[in-house]
């Protein structure tokens, strides 16, 4: 999962602060129930220990983002599982 300053940089492949894309292998995405400063915040915890907080405009958008990220994590796990079974 990559992060970009804007659509122009995304189209050019220029990552925000030149960060490498986040590896979603074994990542966890969930509502940040322990975060009280702002509403509609969810967190992404990566296997390497990094954590990211995201704020959505409302609960619906937050849940859409969480579901999309969880779907990607599940897809990655399925692909890894299938490739492991075939070897």
- Picking from 66, 77, 15, the residue whose alpha carbon sits closest to that of residue 43 is 66
Query: 4 lies in a domain?
Result: no
- Is residue 87 within 8 A of residue 66, CB to CB? The reply is no
For residue 83, pLDDT beyond 70: no
Ranked by mean pLDDT, which of 1-15, 31-45, 66-80 comes out on top? 31-45
Percentage with pLDDT > 90 across the chain: 72
CATH code for the domain in which residue 40 is found: 2.30.29.30
Query: 66 lies in a domain?
Result: yes
The sign of the torsion formed by the CA atoms of 11, 59, 36, 42 equals: negative
Q: What domain range is 74 assigned to?
A: 23-85
pLDDT score for 87? 53
Query: 65 lies in a domain?
Result: yes
Return the beta strands (E) in the chain as ranges: 28-31, 41-45, 51-55
* Largest distance between two CA atoms of the chain: 48
| pTM of this structure | 0.78
User: What CA–CA distance (Å, rounded) separates 38 from 50?
Assistant: 20
Query: 60 lies in a domain?
Result: yes
């Amino acid at each position: 999962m990559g992060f970009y300053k804007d659509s122009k940089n995304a189209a050019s492949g220029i990552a925000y602060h030149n960060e490498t894309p986040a590896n979603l292998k074994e990542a966890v995405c969930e509502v940040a129930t322990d975060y009280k400063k702002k509403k509609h915040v969810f967190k992404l915890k990566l296997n390497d220990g990094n954590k990211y907080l995201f704020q959505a405009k409302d609960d619906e958008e937050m849940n859409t983002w969480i579901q999309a990220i969880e779907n990607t994590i599940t897809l990655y796990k399925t692909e890894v599982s299938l490739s492991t079974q075939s070897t």
